[in-house]
Amino acid sequence: MKNIDQIIKTLTLDEKVSLLSGFNSWYTNKIEKKNIPSIKMSDGPNGVRGDSNSGKSSACFPCAISIGSTWDLSLIKDIGIALGEEAQAKDVDVLLGPTINIHRHPLGGRHFESFSEDPFLTGKIATNYVQGVQSKNVAACLKHFVGNDTEYERHSISSNIDAQTLREIYLLPFEMGIKEGNAKVVMSAYNKLNNIFCSSHQDLLIKILKEEWGFDGYVVSDWGAALETIENANGGLDLEMPGPSNVWGKALIDAVRISEVSEKLIDDKVKRILTVAEFSNRFQKPEIKAEQAIDQPKHRLLLRKAAADGMVLLKNEGSLPLKKNIKKLAVIGPNALEAQIIGGGSASLRPHYQIHPLEAVQERLGHEAEILYSKGCHTHKYLPKINEELMEEKDGFLVEYFDGNQFDKNLILEEHLTGSKFWVFEGFAKDVLSNEKRPNISVKFSCKYKPDISGLHEFEIFGIGKCRLLIDGNELIDNWTSMDPGEAFFTFGSASKKGVINLQKGETYKIEVQYNFEGNFPAVYIGCQTPDEVDIFQEALETASNADEVILIVGTNSDWETEGNDRADFNLPANQNKLIEAILEANQNTIVVINTGSPIHMPWEKKAKAIIQTWFAGQEFGNALVDILSGEVNPSGKLPTSFPVKIEDTPAYKHYPGKDLQMNYEEKLLVGHRWYEANSIKPLFCFGHGLSYTSFNYKNLEVATGSDFVVTCKFEIQNTGDISGLEIAQCYVGPASPIPGEPCKTLQGFIKEEIGAHELKKVEIKLGPRNFSFWSVETNAWQIREGSYQILIGSSSENILLQANINLEQALEVR
């Protein structure tokens, strides 16, 4: 074990401060002569991407809301262990996850990236996730601390939250992750909390996190969130990322020398960072190793199980599991051939492989039935990539980098790149940017393109910087002389501009995109939509009419649900609702599969016989879906978030995302299911809802209060069906007499049990003092009110099946 205090004594002030800012996007600075190594950090929430420039693939895990839907703490710990093993393969010290912000509003851009609307469920998941990751000596990073619940103006908006709501809703998962999970790193959010930047919030980072909760790790800024030198330092931030330093470095050294920041505080920051380096064994392995892409069979099995267990059967009127005698099975929808397995932004990565629904259905069910397919409609927010198979050279665009403003002089290098989105965080221009002497770069993308269909082709370009698109030397799109702000590339990109041109099949055209960037964050998008050979909407209807049963797979993609911007609409993109209505009319034996990361409007819900919510289920999506459809796996997922009938029903609707950069949390404690019950608003599907292919009966609740205020709830669950199933029993606690402004009941316990066919199983849920407590602003502590409390056991927040009351004869302060 290193004597970190002794190491710090040997460091100069300049050396200490150098350790408090990153070296680049993912590494901290090192001091070789003092044997202090770099710490390596990596996104992300549903897989370990590693260094973006390595190009190595990674295991793609189900997104957080999918993991939240499992309600399976043992499985979640196994997922954490697997993430730790993935981090080891990428030589990563700190995994930047889990994201444990609350589902405050269903249009939040990172809704898919957080576990739940419920703070208790989120905290339990976070604790087990962290314990799993850190069992491999990889530090887990809880983010984003705190109130980062919208992507709208996230760098400057203030989340205004009263003290009781802050403690009971938004801080609770972090408190559990620190106290129970012992998380080693916390990431401060971009936003302000009550008009103080979270990276400068002394009450939040020092008084609560470090002093009250005993957090001994380091606080890292979200990337680019450190904006203030002295305020960040005195407010509790420990590490500024990314590097090189923006607000610390020399400015922080000067602040220490004039006593605006104490050197003792600098020492504490250094100690915290080096403590994490010691935890990850980086002192014993200081050399950064090459990243590896290890596709482990055991991870494949785990991710397939997690994906299936996270899928929620919302509705089933006897359509599922699929019958064995189907002769023609149609797979229809924009997410059938290529589903969305991952959300956008820091969650993205390059997966080892992807199993999509149509492929899995054909492989598993194709020997029993004829499989029909039709896309039905396009749902892109940005146009798809140009088909490289139609380029004269099949290896993508020729990309030429020039020093200066001209596209034919001072060539630096050239390479071939495929795809549509080219930006620095995915390796674009990495070799050019490594040369610090090149401040102004012009880039030319070019290819010879031979269409395989005649008609109107629509092209699209936008980026961080000026760009234009030419066909055979003639400008088609000008996003150069005039640019509007856009949503893409974390809102730093220009707005999309499009152009249409008539191209002929078999003719060769030269496509050229000219792009100029200044600075270190190049990004450009190039898209093209070709004409359809047939009317794909009408084709889908005919396909559905000719099938015995239909699997209709609709959803979003990582452009619609992403870090950087919130969704603008509660509806499915494009004309998917119209497609669903038409397919349900054409074939009543239709199973609607929803491939989104958040709730959506379902105006067709009453017409559908079966609905499955799959979320973004990771690399094993297709296999897991067929496991559920075929009945090989009995669905057991339950919603970790409420599905409203309409967006106007949601708790924050009237004050989201705020006004004049002020976002007031006026719903206060009534978040999610608490709101719907308190306001007698019936959601479309309630929190905790999820069906099975079997059925369960609850009975014989016994509640006993023991010493130290431990309440034991014992009851029985019987599987009344003919197949084994997993059931999630939920325990809610509420005051017998309603308290104005407070929820009727709150989730305080749950258990997931496998119960065999016709088996009767005795289960037990234990509650402690904190499960009955509230945050008192008068005493600044957790307290229990005297009086009568209801213990409510059920299969969802609405379906309460057992009830008992207990009396607390005196008020109690909880330590």
Position 438 scores a pLDDT of 59
Tokens representing 75 are 């499985």
3-state helix, strand, coil in the chain (%, to 5): 25, 30, 45
What digits encode the pLDDT tens for the residues 497-510? Answer: 999 999 999 999 99
Question: Given 43, 118, 149, 222, which residue is catalytic?
Answer: 222
Check residue 440 and report its DSSP letter. E
**Start and end residues for every CATH 2.60.40.10 domain found in the chain:** 696-814
Residue 276 amino acid letter: V
Q: Quick check: 689 and 635 in contact, CB under 8 A?
A: no
> pLDDT band at 709, cuts 50/70/90?
confident
Position 520 scores a pLDDT of 76
The yes/no answer on whether domain 696-814 falls in CATH 2.60.40.10 is: yes
Tokens representing 698 are 């609850």
Mean pLDDT of the chain: 96
pLDDT at 672 over 90: yes
Q: Degrees (nearest 5) of the Cα angle 415, 287, 57?
A: 45
The rounded distance, in Å, linking the Cα atoms of 348 and 343 is 6
Tokens representing 676 are 């719907």
pLDDT at 436 over 60: no
The rounded distance, in Å, linking the Cα atoms of 613 and 596 is 8
Q: How far is CA 135 from the centre of its chain?
A: 22
What mean pLDDT is predicted for residues 614-625? 98
Q: Which helix or strand (DSSP H or E) is residue 173 part of?
A: helix 172-179
**Among candidate residues 90, 93, 74, the one with its CA nearest the CA of residue 137:** 93
The rounded distance, in Å, linking the Cα atoms of 291 and 396 is 25
Q: Quick check: 104 and 118 in contact, CB under 8 A?
A: no
The rounded distance, in Å, linking the Cα atoms of 73 and 131 is 11
The rounded distance, in Å, linking the Cα atoms of 68 and 424 is 32
pLDDT at 174 over 60: yes
Q: How far is CA 690 from the centre of its chain?
A: 21
pLDDT at 133 over 80: yes
- Looking at the DSSP bridge assignments, the partners of residue 781 are 776
Burial class (CB in 10 A: 0-12, 13-18, 19+), 666: middle
What digits encode the pLDDT tens for the residues 557-579? Answer: 999 999 999 999 999 999 999 99
What mean pLDDT is predicted for residues 430-441? 72
The rounded distance, in Å, linking the Cα atoms of 236 and 1 is 26
According to CATH, what is the number of the domain 388-529? 2.60.120.260
Burial class (CB in 10 A: 0-12, 13-18, 19+), 654: exposed
What digits encode the pLDDT tens for the residues 349-360? Answer: 999 999 999 999
SS3 802: strand
Give one DSSP letter per residue of 461-500, joined into a string.
EEEESEEEEEETTEEEEEESSS--B-STTTTTSBPPEEEE
The rounded distance, in Å, linking the Cα atoms of 279 and 136 is 10
Put the strands of the sheet holding 746-755 in their side by side order: 746-755, 725-735, 787-794, 800-808
What mean pLDDT is predicted for residues 466-482? 97
What mean pLDDT is predicted for residues 519-525? 88
Who's near 462: CB < 8 A, 6+ residues apart?
A: 479, 486, 488, 493, 494, 495, 496, 497, 524, 525
The rounded distance, in Å, linking the Cα atoms of 35 and 19 is 13
Task: Give the pTM.
Answer: 0.96
The rounded distance, in Å, linking the Cα atoms of 686 and 682 is 8
The rounded distance, in Å, linking the Cα atoms of 770 and 671 is 19
The rounded distance, in Å, linking the Cα atoms of 74 and 423 is 38
Position 51 scores a pLDDT of 87
> pLDDT band at 811, cuts 50/70/90?
confident
> pLDDT band at 643, cuts 50/70/90?
very high
Check residue 685 and report its DSSP letter. B
Of residues 51 and 164, which shows the higher confidence score?
164
**Start and end residues for every CATH 3.40.50.1700 domain found in the chain:** 297-381+533-652+674-678
What digits encode the pLDDT tens for the residues 364-396? Answer: 999 999 999 999 999 999 999 999 999 998 889
Q: How far is CA 806 from the centre of its chain?
A: 39
Q: Which CATH number fits domain 297-381+533-652+674-678: 3.40.630.10, 3.40.50.300, 3.40.50.1700, 3.40.50.450?
A: 3.40.50.1700
**Is residue 472 flagged as an active site residue?**
no
The rounded distance, in Å, linking the Cα atoms of 436 and 234 is 32
**Start and end residues for every CATH 2.60.120.260 domain found in the chain:** 388-529
What digits encode the pLDDT tens for the residues 48-66? Answer: 999 876 789 999 999 999 9
pLDDT at 806 over 90: yes
What mean pLDDT is predicted for residues 520-538? 95
Q: From the CB of residue 453, how many other CB atoms can be counted at a distance below 10 Å? A: 14
The pLDDT > 70 percentage for the chain reads 99
Q: Quick check: 554 and 592 in contact, CB under 8 A?
A: yes
Tokens representing 128 are 């087990």
The rounded distance, in Å, linking the Cα atoms of 701 and 723 is 25
Give one DSSP letter per residue of 583-651, joined into a string.
HHHH-SSEEEEEE-SS----TTGGG-SEEEE--S--TTHHHHHHHHHHTSS------SS-B-SSGGGST
What digits encode the pLDDT tens for the residues 24-35? Answer: 999 999 999 999
The rounded distance, in Å, linking the Cα atoms of 556 and 91 is 33
Q: How far is CA 769 from the centre of its chain?
A: 32
What digits encode the pLDDT tens for the residues 304-333? Answer: 999 999 999 999 999 999 999 999 999 999
**Among candidate residues 511, 532, 514, 533, the one with its CA nearest the CA of residue 524:** 514
Lowest mean pLDDT among 165-174, 199-208, 400-409, 612-621: 400-409
Residue 71 amino acid letter: W
Q: Strand 760-767 vs strand 711-719: parallel, antiparallel, or unpaired?
A: antiparallel
pLDDT at 596 over 60: yes
Tokens representing 255 are 């602040």
Position 425 scores a pLDDT of 78
**Among candidate residues 718, 565, 672, 548, the one with its CA nearest the CA of residue 165:** 672
Position 814 scores a pLDDT of 85
Residue 413, CA distances (Å) to 393, 401, 647 in order = 18, 6, 51
Position 521 scores a pLDDT of 85
